[in-house]
Structure formats: C-alpha cells, structure tokens
Structure 1
Amino acid sequence: MMAASCARTLGKVARLVLDTPINRITKTDPFINKFHLRGQVRAYGNSGAGFKSRFLHISPIRWRVLGGAFLLGGGFGLYQTIKLTFQHHLAEEKAKAPELGTDLKLTLYQYKTCPFCSKVRAFLDYHGLRYEIVEVNPVMRQEIKWSTYRKVPILMVDRTVQINDSSVIISALKTYLITKQRTVSEVLDCYPEIKAKNDRGKDVIEFGNKYWVMVNNEDADGLYPEKDSRKEEIKWRKWVDEWLVHLISPNVYRTPTEALASFDYIVREGKFGTFEGFFAKYFGAAAMWIISKRLKNRHNLQNDVRQDLYKAVNDWVAAIGKNKRFMGGDEPNLADLAVFGVLRVMEGLQAFDDMMDHTKVKNWYRRMEKVAQHAP
C-alpha cells in the first residue's frame, strides 16, 4: 500500500511538470521564447517576485530535464520503499519461525572426550555450522541440571529447542539442512522418544528413525546417488553406536599405565575442579582399568582387545573399498563422520598410535582430518 501510494504521488508531480504550458510550446515558438527569456533574466534579480518570474520562464529543455529528474527520483523512491517493505516482511516471517535459515544459534553441551559428543562435533564442523560449547562437569553435571535428559550430548537450537542423542542430532540437522521447508521443531517430530529396556533390563529412552534422514524422493536421489548408498550409511552408523564405540574404553584403559595416561588427558581437556581432577586422575584411572575388564567380558572381546579394534577398523576400510575416497564417495557421508568422530577421541593415546600403525585406516583418516576442519 505504502509503495503504491508513493509511486502515484511522484507520478502526478512529474506529469504536472511535463504538462505545464511552457513545456507544450510549438516548433514556431522557440525564437520568440528565447528572446523573451533573455530579457526577463536581465530585468529581474534572484529573489522575490523576480526569482518567481525567472523560474516560470525556464527553457523547455530544462523543464524536461526537471521532469525526468522527478521521474528518476520517484523510481528510486519506489525501489527503496519496496525494498524496505520486503525486508520488513522477511523479518516478520523470521520472527514467526526463528529456526528457519542458516543462522541457527547452536549450543552443544558435552564432555570433550566423549565419543558421541565427538561425532556430533565432526558433523557440525564438516558442515561449517557455528556453535558454542558448554563443557559439562562429569561429576556434578550442574550445567545440565535444567534438563530431564541427563546424558550428553545435548544440542540447544536458538535456546528453545532441545535435541538429545548424538544420532538424532545428526539426522535431524541433516534433514533440516537439506529441506529447509520445516523448522527444527517440526523435523524432530520424525524422531519420537520411545521408552524401552536395554539388555540388562534397565529403563532407557530410545528414539525412532534416528538413523534416517527424512527427505523426499527427489532429495534422496541427490543425497544417495548409488543404489544401496542409503542402506549402507544406515548400516554403518548403527555399527558405530552398537560396536565401534564399545571398543574405545577397553582399549584406552587396557593397562594401568594406559588408564592413567587416558585420565590425565581427560582431566586436562575436561571441566574439573582441583580436587575433582586429582581424584578423577588417580582413582578414576584405577576404577576404569577394572571396569574395562568387565566391558571386555560384556562385549565378548578378545583378551588382547587391540585385535578387536584392528579388525573393526580394517572392516570399515574394506567396506569403503579401494576405488572410493570415503564411504560417501568423493565426499564423506554420515557414516564417515560418525566413525571419524569416535576414533579421534583416542588421539594422543597409545591405542590411537597402535591403530594407525597396525591397520589400513591411516589414509582415510588423514583425508577426513582435512575435510572436517571447519571448527568455529
């Protein structure tokens, strides 16, 4: 409405200028008009009635220039009005759906050395998504006392939408980035919470469809160009959560020396007070060395748990094949990012060095390091 009114007003002014009698002089008038105007200019000054008379006797060419200026100014004013109106409309739409767009405000609650948190960071970094990190104290967990979900990672979107579980975070954000037709809240409806019991009979919360990227057939064809690529991605993402991640603790706490080195790293990188850090480093290392033995039995690992780690990593490399850079082809898919995120929590520890020396994973891992360097 405002743009149309502005255009009509400016158009009327321009027409009035162009339609004045002085601007409708016939071809026989110019000589007389010029002679008359020269006399008027000499006879009058620059103010009062003289200025008015001088203004009314401007040449036809100058009137046309003046009229064109009005039209040009009107067009520019119309453009600016429409532009501001459109920007205002976009701002209103964004206020109604603040999650739409590429400027999501993301906050990740994590333990830095947690494999599940690491794979979320790998996803966020690879996609160039900026995010804030809140390091959670693993003893008191005061940083997430506001949440009924007491595990990490937790991702907050625009400080209003909470996403739990690493695989749900990755699947939901990937869905959102591809479609951008639904808010994050709407996407989360595709991943319902399900109460279940684990293999020890303990009540747990699971999430439906958590390995699925919810896109239409057209988008799926672009995301998964090969026939079985979607199926393979889901298969290996499950493998990461159900097998690979369980090999980390038994390997990094394999011996008392390795357990102490691991907890030294955890205390340095984590959020501990002075007393908590001392307690965690020494008592935690001893406790985890003992627990790692139980984990080895629970997951039916070999006495030398390194062999299970080596086999798992070599199975992964074999599944990629010799003709592809990544499981996803020329670019990593979600399985690549999940495996990379889990394995990198061992960097700087003996288990990681042994893995790099005794498996075929090195070339793939170095390629992943290069493409995942978009940390905020």
Structure 2
Amino acid sequence: MMAAACARTLGKVGRLVLDTPICHFTNSASAVPRTYLRCHGRAYGTGGAGFRSRLVLPAPVRGGGRVLGCAFLLGGGIGLYQTIKLTLQRHLAEEQTNAPELGTDLKLILYQYKTCPFCSKVRAFLDYHGLPYEIVEVNPVMRQEIKWSTYRKVPILMVDGTVQINDSSVIISALKTYLVTKERTISQILACYPEMKSKNDTGKDVTEFGNKYWVMVNNVDADRLYPEKNSRKEEIKWRKWADDWLVHLISPNVYRTPTEALASFDYIVREGKFGTFEGFFAKYFGAAAMWIISKRLKNKHNLHDDVRQDLYKAVNDWVAAIGKNKKFMGGEQPNLADLAVFGVLRVMEGLEAFDDMMDHTKVKNWYQRMQKATYHVS
C-alpha cells in the first residue's frame, strides 16, 4: 500500500506505477445469500509456577503422640497445598473468562509489509484476541518470501503450514468464525468465502472474495456475538467503509507534501525489509514518486485540495457513528469494525498526518482505548 507499492516499482528502474500491486483493494461488493449464514466454524480455548515444600521433622522417637503429631503436620501440609492449588486454578479460570478469546491451537504465520494498512488490520485482530503468530516481513521489491504463492499480494496468513488465507477481511472473518464456533475446521470455513476472479474497467485481472465481511455463525452464536439490533449490520458496514474509503485517504495524506513524503519513506525504509541500495533508492526517489502519485490519487478519489479535510471528516464520521454512550462500536469491547479502523489509522503513527488527525478530530479517546485494548498482547 503506502510503502511497498512504490518501492517495488522503483526497484524496477524507477518506473512510476499508479496500479499498486500490493495491498490494493477492489471496490466490488459481494452479495450475501442467506444460505451462507449456516456455515459454522470450530474453536478452541487455551499455569502457573509450581512449588515444592519440605517438611523437617525431628528424629523419630518412641511414643504414639509424636507420630500422631507428624501425621497431623503432614496432613495439614497436603491440605494447604490443595487449597493453594485450587485457588490458583480458580484465579486463572476467572482471568480467562474476563479476557478476549485467548489463544488457539493454530500455528499462524503472517506474511506482511509492516506499513500496509491491510496487514495492520490483521495484526490488530490477532493482538486483541491474544492469538500468537509469527511475522515474515516481505521484501517489497523482490518478494522472494512469497514466491511460493500464486496470490502475490499481502497479507497472507498460513495456518498450520498447510492452509493459506488471502485477503485481510477474509483472514479476520474466518478466524473470528473459528474462535466463536466449534463445528468446522479452517479449511471448511474458507469454503464460505469463495474466490472470484474478474477483470476491472482497465482489463486487469482482479481477485475478490464472496461474503468476506460475514462471520459465519449459527443463530445462537450470532445472538451472543451481536446482542443489539443492527449491530451485525453496522459492523459489516463500517468494515467495508474502512476498506473502500478510509484506506484510500492514507497515501494522499502521508505524501501530501515533499517533506511529508520524505518523512514517510524514511519510516517505511526503517521499518520495512530493504537492502542498502533499495532503501536509499526507495527513500529519496520513492518519496518524490509518491508525492506525484498522491496528487493523482487525490483526483481519482475526488478529494479536497486540502486532503486533511477528507481525513478529518472521515474520522469524525466514525466517532459519531460510535456515539457518546459507547466506548467502542462494539460496546464495552471492540468489534471487528473497531479493529479494522484502528488498524488502518495506526499505520500513520509517528507521521505529521497522524498528529494533525489527533489534534483536529474527536478520535483521540477512542484511539487510546484501542491502543490499550490491543497493547497487552502486542
């Protein structure tokens, strides 16, 4: 997205390319037939330090009194041990009950660009739900790390080394289905998100996935997951909004001026996986290229001359949709829309656009709550 697209094209003799091959998103919406809502998933839930005590007794002497005393001491020690053990078990059980879904048996490997908004969305979801995962940072020029994949965009999530999940929204919906339900494997769940290939207006091949904003749960689980009327509809609406609109405001804002573009690429090169020459080339030539491209993106998406105004309005619209009486769109806890919007906005941290957004919108309190909600496992 904001980083690797330009870096890869620049690595190929610095040609300016408007069609960013990584992390870009098509705007086609998929119909959601009711039959898909009966797809189910399968989930698994996830000690403490032990101790050893030694009871020092006097040398055995004749007389039943002392033997009986030793028996009482030994019995008391065992009773104390069992009491402590049960207390610890109860405490751990309470912690797991109050926390989000903590862990699964899945081995997860995320192939990503760190500064890609779509990859950041997936990390926000994994972090909030406490799912351990390994990161493979992909070189945006050569992309050798995903040469084995016919799907050439990131994020890609590998599950147990055998199941590949493409597209950030599919990754999130499929894993959420797996966490909530207990009836299907990841492979079976993915059948609910069919891959569809087509050509866009310019004749280029594009890949889309059906139903990708739906968590495939039965009615009982749906009532538990979405207790309020229209909460499921609102979650889907704002997840789509994050992909179809909010993400397109990032590049025009972080590359708004030559100075901002250079600062952005300095961050991108520092955080990404670049060789020495690639990093130098990307930082200086990439910044110039993306500053020019950001102007074209502004026209493509009909943004204001001052693109900050579009960012401010979008963020304030999001805060207004949450309302004054809720901590998150999901209520007391973030839902998938909260995690998606947070993931997209987070890639601007440390840049001028992010500071301006925090100073000129009402997003700060919500954003800080999201940071806290995901930090404990980051």
TM bucket (normalised to shorter chain) is: 0.7 to 0.9
Identity %: 88
**How many Å separate the matches in 1 of 2:172 and 2:278?**
32
Q: How does 1:172-321 map to 2 (within 5 A)?
A: 172-321=174-323
* Pair 1:139 & 2:116 matched: no
Equivalent pair of 1:127/1:374 in contact (CA under 8 Å): no
**How many Å separate the matches in 2 of 1:350 and 1:141?**
29
Q: For residues 200 and 315 of structure 1, do their structure 2 counterparts lie closer, same or farther at Cα, with a shift above 3 Å needed?
A: farther
**How many Å separate the matches in 1 of 2:240 and 2:288?**
31
- Greater helix share, 1 or 2? 1
**How many Å separate the matches in 2 of 1:174 and 1:159?**
19
Question: Between Structure 1 and Structure 2, how many residues are aligned?
Answer: 276
Q: For residues 337 and 199 of structure 1, do their structure 2 counterparts lie closer, same or farther at Cα, with a shift above 3 Å needed?
A: farther
* Pair 1:152 & 2:154 matched: yes
Q: Please give the secondary structure, in 2, of the residue aligned with 1:372.
A: helix
Q: Deviations over 1:85-138 (max 9, x none)?
A: xxxxxxxxxxxxxxxx92210000000000000000000000000000000000
Q: How does 1:286-365 map to 2 (within 5 A)?
A: 286-365=288-367
Q: Structure 2 length normalisation: TM-score?
A: 0.72
**How many Å separate the matches in 1 of 2:200 and 2:310?**
23
Q: How far 1:199 sits from its partner (Å)?
A: 4.4
**What does residue 40 of structure 1 align with?**
none
Which structure has the bigger radius of gyration?
Answer: 1
**How many Å separate the matches in 2 of 1:224 and 1:178?**
12
Q: For residues 273 and 135 of structure 1, do their structure 2 counterparts lie closer, same or farther at Cα, with a shift above 3 Å needed?
A: same
Q: Aligned-pair RMSD on alpha carbons?
A: 0.9
* Pair 1:169 & 2:184 matched: no
Q: Which runs of 5+ in 2 are unaligned?
A: 1-102
Q: For residues 310 and 199 of structure 1, do their structure 2 counterparts lie closer, same or farther at Cα, with a shift above 3 Å needed?
A: farther
Equivalent pair of 1:178/1:219 in contact (CA under 8 Å): yes
**How many Å separate the matches in 1 of 2:366 and 2:201?**
34
**What does residue 69 of structure 1 align with?**
none
Equivalent pair of 1:233/1:334 in contact (CA under 8 Å): yes
**How many Å separate the matches in 1 of 2:201 and 2:220?**
39
Q: Please give the secondary structure, in 1, of the residue aligned with 2:136.
A: strand
**What does residue 75 of structure 2 align with?**
none
**How many Å separate the matches in 2 of 1:298 and 1:354?**
23
**What does residue 22 of structure 2 align with?**
none
**How many Å separate the matches in 2 of 1:246 and 1:278?**
26
Q: Deviations over 1:251-278 (max 9, x none)?
A: 0000000000000000000000000000
Q: Please give the secondary structure, in 2, of the residue aligned with 1:180.
A: coil
Residue identity opposite 2:371 in structure 1: E
Q: How far 1:200 sits from its partner (Å)?
A: 3.7
**What does residue 125 of structure 2 align with?**
123
**How many Å separate the matches in 2 of 1:272 and 1:294?**
26
**How many Å separate the matches in 2 of 1:199 and 1:308?**
26
